[in-house]
């Protein structure tokens, strides 16, 4: 169950940077801040649950990896962030690192 908590913690980790991005616009500022805070709390709680069984270094690296890769994808597809082969390769390396940490656990 710890791995399920960790995966969901990583997915919720994507929500708070999106909330902060939303908060940059005056019409969605309050909603964005609320979304960021809610997602931070949920993500942190799920990470805390996962760390009861998964080592801190492994869980933190996977949590941030999912969050970083997911936020990159959201940024490219929903916010028009720049994309290039090099940026996609960088995200692929993050994902490969996360997979390696899981396999090596």
Burial of residue 15 (number of CB atoms within 10 Å: 0-12, 13-18, 19+): buried
- Identify whether the C-beta of residue 36 lies closer than 8 Å to the C-beta of residue 76: no
Sign of the Cα torsion 20, 15, 44, 105 reads: negative
Series of mean pLDDT values for 10-residue runs along the chain (105 residues) = 97 97 97 98 98 95 94 96 96 92 82
Distance (Å, whole) CA 37 – CA 17: 10
Residue 102 is predicted with a pLDDT of 81
């Amino acid at each position: 169950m710890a791995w399920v908590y960790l995966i969901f913690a990583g997915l919720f980790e994507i929500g708070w940077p999106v909330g902060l991005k939303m908060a940059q616009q005056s019409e969605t500022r309050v909603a964005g801040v609320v979304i960021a805070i809610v997602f931070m709390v949920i993500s942190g709680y799920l990470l805390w649950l996962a760390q009861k069984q998964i080592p801190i270094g492994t869980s933190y690296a996977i949590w941030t990896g999912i969050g970083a890769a997911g936020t990159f994808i959201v940024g490219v597809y929903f916010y028009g962030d720049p994309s290039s082969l090099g940026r996609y390769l960088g995200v692929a390396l993050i994902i490969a690192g996360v997979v390696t940490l899981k396999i090596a656990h």
